[in-house]
Amino acid sequence: MKEISVSYHDKESFEIEFGTSGYRGKIAGDFTFDVVKLVSQAICDFLRDKYNGIFASEKIIIGYDTRFLSEEFAKLSAGVFCANGFFVIFASFCTPTPVLSIKIAEEKALGAINITASHNPYNYNGIKFSPAWGGPALPEDTEIITRRSNELLKCPEYKFIGFDSAKNQGLLKEENFINSYATLIKTKINLGLISENNKNIFAFITSLHGTSKDIIGDILSGIGIDFKEIYKDRDAFFAPGMAPDPSAKNLNEMSILIRDYNGANEKNGSKKLAMGLATDGDADRYGILDEDGKFVEPNIIFPLLYNYYIDGKGIKGNVARSVATTALIDRIAKYHGFKVIETPVGFKYLGKLISERKVVMAGEESSGLTVLGHTPDKDGIYACLLVLEMMSYYKRPLKLLVKDLLEKFGPIYTKRINVPVNKEKFKTEINDKMNKFPATFRGKKVMGKNTTDGYKIFFDDDSWLLCRLSGTEDLIRIYGESDTVNNLDDLMYSFQEYLI
């Protein structure tokens, strides 16, 4: 059955564009029921063309997050795939992104559709396609999907069958994906090691009203680790942060709870110390708080875990990072005799390296991380549990592990800021500004530039700056790294002034 039904205030100017992780837009603005159907049809057309209509599997995994209308959007996508002859395995409730990636491999599926806007504000939603290898679709695929989506936007046409009708006709089935994921994750993490450390660790946990609700807690309760989970019930507004982003700002209440807990235990003479574990809305990103309630930057957590992988677990090999990620990784890799592969921003590039077994770990400054032998998509749940395993192996609080790392490989300080901009205006001006960038900036000599993704500038004291447009929001992201906080702040502030 074909439907032709689309309504926009300004169809001529509206275009569908895939960013670093799928297509995202404001709910009821540029992300609507019709858009989801059109993009789903475009992905169906892409798959049919790619495989010449001959599929080793006709299975498509479909999941969704806790946002407003996510389940309804997912059901509409399922209706398009079923009408196009695919068999849909549909998540029975809100499901993390890494769980869907694992499910692709488990079912040997053609891919997965995920209705999520990840860590973006509450009024956004999105549709993400992951192909058969399990990570986010690469640009050569999303460019085709984007082009086809916009063709359909101009001449709306798609096949569709209602969700209940598809289910009654045996074209789809609903499943709980989380149980098999939890069973798998227990084989990937040394839970016995964490359990042995139960007298020293108390974990505050949060999904920020997202999809990882109860997953980490259920695992920890099974091994005798005390914990408290906050912000766990579904809330489409993601209060108090209004975005399910595991940032220092959004984890402020958890920080207070940690300090209060540890202050009381210090008075009582208890050795048990609290720390914090958080994931974003679709649980592919992590946020970690140390025993002082301090947010530990992903640019510290990633190097810590890579060093632990080599030094503690004995899993040795090369590592991959994005262009915006800390050079601390490079120092650790060099120390252990391994290489770093640098990619553009976007976990799809990192995940592909994992799937091709070229690196043992891949990570980015925006809290994405995975390892060889796990999912090729980022997994915030796994990262949180791996932090606990690392702490238990060394039998040291996280804050001391950070101190040890920086004493050995630092000092190094990193930061990222987001600056709202008019994207089109910025695009027209940025090339000229960067071509005219001074040879000396804030007293530092420019040693080189990198345009892998955005504009990265290297200085003679190993400091660097990077600016790039966000792939999902009307922002530029400015990144920097230097040897002191003051130097970093000066560079970042001056660079922002120069750009804006």
Interval 376-394: pLDDT, tens: 999 999 999 999 999 999 9
pLDDT higher than threshold 90 for residue 12? no
Region 12-31: mean pLDDT is 86
CB 361 within 8 A of CB 353: no
Instruction: Indicate if the pLDDT at residue 463 is higher than 80.
Output: yes
pLDDT band at 124 (very low <50, low <70, confident <90, very high): very high
Distance CA 120, CA 245 (A): 7
- Are 160 and 80 spatial neighbours (Cβ–Cβ below 8 Å)? yes
Contact 382, 370 (CB under 8 A): yes
What is the tens place of the pLDDT at every residue in 228-249? 999 999 999 998 778 999 999 9
pLDDT of residue 500: 85
User: In the prediction, which pLDDT does 465 show?
Assistant: 97
The answer to whether the CB of 223 falls within 8 A of the CB of 200 is: no
| Residue ranges of the chain assigned to CATH 3.30.310.50 | 413-499
Measured distance CA(317)–CA(142) in Å, rounded: 30
pLDDT, average across residues 168-173: 98
Q: Which of 235, 291, 486, 276 is nearest to 380 (CA)?
A: 276
Domain with CATH 3.40.120.10 in the chain: 2-179, 189-409
Share in percent of the chain as helix, strand, coil (round to 5): 40, 25, 40
Please check the confidence at residue 7 and state whether its pLDDT lies above 50.
no
* Residue 12, Cβ density class (10 Å: 0-12 exposed, 13-18 middle, ≥19 buried): exposed
pLDDT 10s digits, 206-216: 999 999 999 99
Give the mean model confidence (pLDDT) for residues 431-435. 90
And the tokens for 119? 């860590």
pLDDT of the residue at 331: 96
Architecture of domain 413-499: 2-Layer Sandwich (3.30)
Rounded distance, CA 481 to CA 489, Å? 9
CA distance 258 to 252: 10
Q: Residue 428: its pLDDT value, please? A: 87
Burial of 279 (0-12, 13-18, 19+ CB in 10 A): buried
Reply yes or no on whether the pLDDT at 300 is more than 70.
Answer: yes
pLDDT digits (tens, 9 = 90+) for 190-206: 999 999 999 999 999 99
pLDDT tens digits for range 50-100: 999 888 889 999 999 999 999 999 999 999 999 999 999 999 999 999 999
- What does pTM read for this prediction? 0.93
Helix and strand numbers, DSSP H then E, in the chain: 16, 23
| 97 against 21, higher pLDDT | 97
Chain centroid to CA 479: how far? 17
pLDDT attached to residue 5: 43
Q: Which of 102-106, 129-133, 193-197, 240-244 has the lowest mean pLDDT?
A: 240-244
Integer Cα distance of 418 and 477 in angstroms = 5
Looking at domain 189-409, does it have CATH number 3.40.120.10?
yes
Dihedral sign computed on CA atoms, order 7, 13, 17, 19? negative
CATH superfamily, with its number, for domain 2-179:
Alpha-D-Glucose-1,6-Bisphosphate, subunit A, domain 3 (3.40.120.10)
